[in-house]
């Protein structure tokens, strides 16, 4: 069986929950509506309010747009599958979903790395921050954060889509690249080698950058005044929460992909597999919304008066 003969994939992780599927549908619908509403609101506030046209808020805009994109590549599909009795998806759509979800995950990681660099300059080199983080430079970093993942995902999808497949059953509630790779007839040597090279050369470098920036920030906090520590906590805590949340989600995804967790309840395995693309878009608006609460309170009366 080769890729031209695989017209659809079966998602085998779904199981029958009877009438409770309507409750699950409503819960997921509410979560999705909150994600869309909150991320759109914060993006609009940043774009409309000229006082927020600063490097940190431009990076936040990129983060919120990516979360809108990532959640929209999963939730509508998930809602349809919950109500459906046949859990299958066409091969082209499956590869499209893989592209969207992995693009989201990569861009999220790049954004968080650039934001950690921004926070590092703001805390450790405040006198040089204005010259080091000009809007033109930030714009280039944002473009870089989207362009490099785009190239990576195109190469990754091309390696899998051009290879022969010896099956069409994916043990997931959505299409995942690792599970498609396991279906390759001739093995996944090229795909695995490329994945390892990209992981060690790029993703680990970004992780090292994030770790380095926070080590330096902590060093400044411990050696600085109380006011410096308070500023660092206020400035970095939302980003640190976001980094930890995304790291946990990525860890759950890697853990479930690489190890046999069949002893866990099926519902728990599904929740863990969805964590990285649901909790990040859900919690980030809450975390950063608290930081923008004064601006939001000013924004609502202006909107109501129009």
pLDDT tens column, 287-298: 887 666 655 555
Query: In this structure, what CATH number is given to the domain that contains residue 154?
Result: 1.20.1070.10
Q: Band of the pLDDT at 187, cuts 50, 70, 90? A: low
- Please check the confidence at residue 306 and state whether its pLDDT lies above 50: no
The 10 Å Cβ neighbour count of residue 214 is: 18
Backbone dihedral angles phi then psi of residue 185, each to the nearest 5 degrees: -70, -45
With respect to residue 111, please indicate whether it lies within any of the assigned structural domains: yes
Which structural domain range is residue 116 located in? 8-305
Write down the pTM of the prediction.
0.87
Judged by average pLDDT, the poorest of 57-61, 152-156, 261-265, 270-274 is 261-265
- Please check the confidence at residue 63 and state whether its pLDDT lies above 90: yes
With respect to residue 1, please indicate whether it lies within any of the assigned structural domains: no
With respect to residue 98, please indicate whether it lies within any of the assigned structural domains: yes
Helix, strand or coil for residue 264? coil
Q: Which of 282, 278, 273 is nearest to 11 (CA)?
A: 273
With respect to residue 2, please indicate whether it lies within any of the assigned structural domains: no
With respect to residue 160, please indicate whether it lies within any of the assigned structural domains: yes
DSSP string, 10-36: EETT----TTHHHHHHHHHHHHHHHHH
Cβ(196)–Cβ(176) below 8 Å: no
Q: Would you give the DSSP letter of residue 8? A: E
- Distances in whole angstroms, Cα of residue 147 to Cα of each of 103, 111, 144: 10, 12, 5
Residues 6+ apart with CB under 8 A from 240: 214
With respect to residue 269, please indicate whether it lies within any of the assigned structural domains: yes
Query: 221: exposed, middle or buried (C-beta count within 10 Å: 0-12, 13-18, 19+)?
Result: middle
Domain tally, the chain: 1
pLDDT tens column, 159-183: 777 667 777 888 888 988 888 888 8
With respect to residue 3, please indicate whether it lies within any of the assigned structural domains: no
With respect to residue 293, please indicate whether it lies within any of the assigned structural domains: yes
């Amino acid at each position: 069986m080769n890729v031209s003969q695989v017209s659809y994939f079966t998602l085998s992780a779904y199981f029958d929950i009877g009438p409770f599927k309507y409750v699950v549908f409503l819960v997921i619908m509410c979560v999705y509506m909150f994600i869309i509403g909150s991320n759109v609101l914060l993006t609009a506030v940043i774009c409309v309010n000229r006082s927020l046209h600063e490097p940190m808020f431009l990076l936040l805009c990129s983060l919120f747009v990516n979360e809108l994109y990532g959640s929209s590549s999963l939730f509508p599909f998930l809602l349809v599958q919950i109500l459906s009795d046949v859990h299958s998806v066409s091969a082209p759509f499956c590869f499209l979903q893989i592209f969207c979800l992995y693009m989201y995950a990569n861009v999220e990681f790049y954004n968080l790395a650039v934001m950690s660099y921004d926070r590092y300059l703001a805390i450790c080199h405040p006198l040089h921050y204005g010259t080091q983080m000009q809007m033109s430079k930030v714009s280039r970093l944002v473009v870089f954060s989207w362009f490099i993942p785009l190239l990576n995902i195109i190469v990754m999808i091309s390696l899998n889509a051009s290879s022969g497949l010896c099956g069409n059953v994916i043990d997931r509630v959505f299409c995942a690249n690792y599970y498609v790779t396991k279906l390759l007839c001739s093995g996944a040597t090229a795909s695995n080698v490329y994945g390892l090279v990209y992981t060690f050369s790029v993703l680990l470098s970004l992780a090292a950058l994030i770790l380095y920036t926070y080590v330096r920030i902590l060093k400044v906090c411990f050696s600085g005044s109380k006011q410096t520590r308070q500023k660092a906590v206020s400035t970095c805590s939302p980003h640190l929460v976001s980094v930890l949340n995304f790291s946990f989600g990525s860890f759950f995804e890697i853990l479930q992909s690489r190890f046999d967790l069949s002893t866990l309840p099926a519902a728990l395995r599904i929740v863990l597999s969805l964590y990285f693309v649901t909790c990040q878009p859900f919690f980030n608006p809450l975390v950063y919304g608290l930081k923008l609460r004064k601006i939001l309170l000013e924004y609502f009366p202006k909107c109501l008066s129009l």
